[in-house]
Amino acid sequence: MTDFLMRLLAGTALLFLVLLLAMLYDGVDRVAHARMQRRMGPPFLQPFYDVMKLFVKENIVPRRAVAWVFNTAPWLAVTAVLMVFLYVPMGSMPAIMSTGGDVILIVYLFALSAVAMVAGGFASGSPYSNIGAQREMVLMMSYEVPLAIVVTSLAYFAYRNGIPGEPFSLATFVAMPIWGVANWMGILGLVALLVALMAVVPAEVGKVPMDIAEAKTEILEGLISEYSGRNLAMFKLTFALRNSAMCAVVVSLFFPWNIGAFLGLSGGALLLADFVFFWVKVLLLQVFGVTVIRTAFGRFKIWQASQFYWVQVGGLALAGMILLSLDVLV
């Protein structure tokens, strides 16, 4: 019982902190995006202002909407993505909740969050939301394939090389970085998988060039066009959290190194230093993997995005899987 209460308190505190960091990072993303376009942009705290304003606004449910689905979808979406952080080790701190299949569960939680948004779009009764939901479904069916290839390839590589721990657990990759286990062929494979996974990030978090389901200039925010008040605030939180959560997973898989031991720290100072360093890595990955990409590229059409993930990204992921397999066999 004591262990349960400790986990409950630690998890609640962590999720509250993660929520604040995700919104702050969303503000950094917006400011950096504006600076790259030579604009002033909003203040860093603009996401906080937006959410606080929306929480005091009225929730409006369209007459044609399926009310219970329409109102449940935002809360389910944000809850699913918040759960991801409970399975991610942060620096030297182990995950609050950990199983032998963390990575598989995380993929399902991301999918559940996206499915909740799709359900909310279909339930709104709006033609714009309907189109956005259809686009999101097509996009999910496209990027889930290379994502699954990356996850299974890394797990297979960890298992065949005898890395201690469960092959589908994030703690396994954090305890022993896979870069030090691979030979030159395996390193090429890991680079290919990393590039493929980073290509999935914009679609997973709904950012340009893969913000096809929202597409403000085409379908007027698509999925969320009929949402307002607290429901819209929850979707805004979902988008910010998905961004940080996806980058946190990439950091745990490919960049798990810590800094506390290098600085000669121990005890609480070690945990704090590694925790801060973890979130610095997440921020850097978010800026270079999301902000720079959405500034440099325009929005894809849905058929272009689907082809991109099925052919180019899927092919790159397969190439990485083959190279890793050859590294193990040879």
Annotated domain spans of the chain = 48-329
CA 21 to chain centre: 14
In this structure, the dihedral spanned by the alpha carbons of residues 97, 108, 220 and 63, taken in order and rounded to 10 degrees, is -90
In this structure, what token pair is assigned to residue 46?
């603009």
Give the separation between CA 157 and CA 151, rounded to whole angstroms: 10
In this structure, what token pair is assigned to residue 61?
């449910």
Question: What global pTM score does this model have?
Answer: 0.91
| pLDDT greater than 60 at residue 1 | no
Give the separation between CA 34 and CA 43, rounded to whole angstroms: 11
Q: What is the mean pLDDT of residues 268-283?
A: 90
Sign, CA dihedral 223-105-284-82, equals: positive
In this structure, the dihedral spanned by the alpha carbons of residues 316, 321, 326 and 328, taken in order and rounded to 10 degrees, is 140
Give per-residue pLDDT as tens, 213-256.
777 776 777 787 888 889 889 989 998 999 999 999 999 999 99
Contact 223, 214 (CB under 8 A): yes
In this structure, the dihedral spanned by the alpha carbons of residues 111, 115, 117 and 121, taken in order and rounded to 10 degrees, is 150
